[in-house]
């Protein structure tokens, strides 16, 4: 078989298969009379309660790209539009609402649904994280599906507020209280008790899996980059969304660790072409058109890292006796701890002062680009996602001014293929390579950041 442009990790495939297994597990659950919950992304803070109660979890946000890849997203988006949802609203969420509306009409999984579809939920678990769509969508979906809904509220302080004395401890206390209320809600809804031993095993399993996942990503600083962003995206589901046996997950990520380490030790690249440009990607990728990255790999663009979905740096949390608090401190490390964990003491103190004075520090933005020695950044402004788009011009500006790393923006959408034009983007690649060559020389001579 001819080699592709990207040198895929063999250990990625079983992790990738877990995406399909999740849909299968939800269909098996229904056949066995077990409940299924539709969930918004929670980065592991709330789903362990569902898993401990033996409730299968499924994520409509993830299902959007599955529908897009299988070419059926248009029907669900059209249905959402016909129901009155504006087309500038989140593509993931419109897909979910179109699906829910059809499900209500026919009383079963829509026939065009890929991977067996999402079965009717026993409950909807919304979150208050990142954007309003994470709970507004389920408020609407609950009316189609006639399902109970719970919102996991989560404080999201601004950078200055996050560093104020006592702020982090207040957030932790609030989240622990919120999650314990969620546990009580589940007990009432299911008419049975939470299995707290199982919950703690799941929390610890998640922390261990993410520790290996973190270490794998650290190895990606090597030159040539040993693991492409496509392999990261293909395998991240098992680390972020859990849902499977954590011993199995651990074994699969250990296998991936060994394969990436072998590549680092033997200088094996993630692309089958010379690594001319080390790249990073912001923020949500074009899931429906990932073949685009193969075309870029042919030009020597190696996406050695990406900005989103990374686990926090591992911290010793075993002394926290309450597993709910342990989980909260793992999932929400807090801005102060994140700065202290990633910078030397004096610099960390300096960064905090800078944030308290002007509201942000460019050093947080450019650190990854510098650590992974990237030559350029590809950004994707998303027409239907304000949360991950509004800050992109500022990222671009900071990368260029403070790290001498240029970036290229390619507009698109998470699910709507018609908004992404890979051919137009490829036509701009020559000019962007000239920019990357120029700034490589600038960095070699010593990049002098322009302080703002």
Binding site for ligand SF4 (CB under 6 A): 61, 90, 92-93, 130-131, 133-134, 385, 387-388, 414
Q: Which C-beta is closer to ligand SF4: that of 294 or that of 411? A: 411
CA separation for the pair 59, 61 (Å, rounded): 5
CB of 234 to ligand SF4, least distance (A): 19
- Helices 229-240 + 196-219 axis angle, to 10: 170
CB of 60 to ligand SF4, least distance (A): 9
CA separation for the pair 124, 189 (Å, rounded): 12
CA separation for the pair 146, 10 (Å, rounded): 43
Element (H, E) at 56: strand 56-58
CB of 79 to ligand SF4, least distance (A): 18
CB of 286 to ligand SF4, least distance (A): 12
Q: Which C-beta is closer to ligand SF4: that of 378 or that of 385? A: 385
Break the chain down into helix, strand, coil percent, rounded to 5. Answer: 55, 10, 35
CB of 100 to ligand SF4, least distance (A): 15
Element (H, E) at 7: none
Q: Return the closest-CA partner of residue 186 out of 365, 47, 387, 375.
A: 47
Q: Quote the tokens at residue 298.
A: 């042919």
Q: Which C-beta is closer to ligand SF4: that of 398 or that of 414? A: 414
Q: Return the closest-CA partner of residue 45 out of 330, 433, 369, 426.
A: 330
CB of 135 to ligand SF4, least distance (A): 10
Q: Which C-beta is closer to ligand SF4: that of 93 or that of 256? A: 93
Q: Which C-beta is closer to ligand SF4: that of 92 or that of 281? A: 92
CB of 24 to ligand SF4, least distance (A): 24
Q: Quote the tokens at residue 420.
A: 């992404």
Give CA separation, 217 vs 5, 223, 296, in Å.
21, 13, 21
Q: Which C-beta is closer to ligand SF4: that of 249 or that of 414? A: 414
Q: Which C-beta is closer to ligand SF4: that of 419 or that of 447? A: 419
Give one DSSP letter per residue of 304-330, joined into a string: EEESSSPPPPP---TT--SHHHHHHHH
Contact 47, 130 (CB under 8 A): no
CA separation for the pair 39, 421 (Å, rounded): 31
Q: Which C-beta is closer to ligand SF4: that of 27 or that of 414? A: 414
CB count within 10 Å of CB 70 equals 13
CB of 92 to ligand SF4, least distance (A): 5
Q: Which C-beta is closer to ligand SF4: that of 289 or that of 435? A: 289
CB of 230 to ligand SF4, least distance (A): 19
Contact 86, 93 (CB under 8 A): no
């Amino acid at each position: 078989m001819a080699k592709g442009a990207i040198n895929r990790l063999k250990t990625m495939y079983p992790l990738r298969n877990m995406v399909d297994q999740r849909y299968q597990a939800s269909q098996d659950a229904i056949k066995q009379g077990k409940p299924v919950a539709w969930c918004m992304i929670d980065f592991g803070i709330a789903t362990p309660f569902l898993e401990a109660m033996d409730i299968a979890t499924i994520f409509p946000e993830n299902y959007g790209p599955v529908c897009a890849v299988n070419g059926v997203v248009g029907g669900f988006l059209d249905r959402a539009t016909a129901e009155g949802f504006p087309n500038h609203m989140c593509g993931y969420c419109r897909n979910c609402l179109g699906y829910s509306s059809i499900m209500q009409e026919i009383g079963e999984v829509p026939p065009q649904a890929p991977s067996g579809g999402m079965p009717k939920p026993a409950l909807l678990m919304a979150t208050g994280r990142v954007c309003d769509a994470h709970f507004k969508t389920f408020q609407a979906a609950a009316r189609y599906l006639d399902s109970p809904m719970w919102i996991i509220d989560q404080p999201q302080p601004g950078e200055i507020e996050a560093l104020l004395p006592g702020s982090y401890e207040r957030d932790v206390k609030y989240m622990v209280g919120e999650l314990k209320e969620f546990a009580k809600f589940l007990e009432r809804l299911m008419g049975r008790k939470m299995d707290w031993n199982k919950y703690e095993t799941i929390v610890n399993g998640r922390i261990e899996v993410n520790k290996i996942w973190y270490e794998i990503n650290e190895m990606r600083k090597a030159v040539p980059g040993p693991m492409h962003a496509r392999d990261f995206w293909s395998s991240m589901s098992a680390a972020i969304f859990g849902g499977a046996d954590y011993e199995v997950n651990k074994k699969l990520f250990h296998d991936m660790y060994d394969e990436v380490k072998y590549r680092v030790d033997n200088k094996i690249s993630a692309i089958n072409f010379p690594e001319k440009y080390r790249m990073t990607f912001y923020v949500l990728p074009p899931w429906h058109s990932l073949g685009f990255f193969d075309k870029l790999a042919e030009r020597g663009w190696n996406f050695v890292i990406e900005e989103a979905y990374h686990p926090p740096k591992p911290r010793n949390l075993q002394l926290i006796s309450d597993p709910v608090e342990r989980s909260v401190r793992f999932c929400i490390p807090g801005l102060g701890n994140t700065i202290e964990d990633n910078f030397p003491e004096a610099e960390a103190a300096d960064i905090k002062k800078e944030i308290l004075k002007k509201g942000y520090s460019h050093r947080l933005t450019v650190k990854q680009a510098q650590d992974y020695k990237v030559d350029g950044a590809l950004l994707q402004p998303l027409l239907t996602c304000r949360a991950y788009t509004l800050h992109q011009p500022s990222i671009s500006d900071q990368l260029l001014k403070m790290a001498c790393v240029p970036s290229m923006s390619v507009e698109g959408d998470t699910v709507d293929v018609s908004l992404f034009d890979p051919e137009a983007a490829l036509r701009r690649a020559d000019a962007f390579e000239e920019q990357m060559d120029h700034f490589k020389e600038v960095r070699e001579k010593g990049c002098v950041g322009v302080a703002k």
